[in-house]
Amino acid sequence: MIKVSIMYPNGPETTFDVDYYKNSHLPMIAESLGDALISMELNVGMGGRVPGELAPYVAIGHLTFDSMESFQSSFAPHAAKFAADIPNYTNVVGELQISAII
């Protein structure tokens, strides 16, 4: 299995609409990816290493798939639609990491 993580960097000028992401963006992704998507998780940053410090990421979305091939074949046809929705919830570019689940 693999996990695709989209990490949205935090900063003093960062905006992120958690309600929109949770109630509109993620459901759109789930519907578009269908059965290829095994699970989905949203983490919202609360703090950093030092008390009072901003979390390094304002939010992290995790998508789980059976394989790299399953991710690529289900995600690619919808990538432009997913990207076009980004300005509706944030003003930052997310970092994407694909990881093997061990």
- What is the predicted pLDDT for the residue at 27? 98
Contact 85, 25 (CB under 8 A): yes
- What is the predicted pLDDT for the residue at 40? 98
* CA–CA distance, 63 with 71 (Å, rounded to integer): 9
* CA–CA distance, 54 with 57 (Å, rounded to integer): 8
Paired tokens of 78: 């919808």
* CA–CA distance, 30 with 36 (Å, rounded to integer): 9
Q: Which residues pair with 36 in a beta bridge?
A: none
Inter-helix orientation angle 68-75/26-33, to 10°: 110
What number is the average pLDDT over the span 1-18?
97
What number is the average pLDDT over the span 58-87?
98
Three-state secondary-structure class, residue 79: helix
pLDDT tens profile 14-70 = 999 999 999 999 999 999 999 999 999 999 999 999 999 999 999 999 999 999 999
Identify the structural domains of the chain with CATH numbers, from first to last. Answer: 2-100 (3.30.70.100)
* pTM more than 0.85: yes
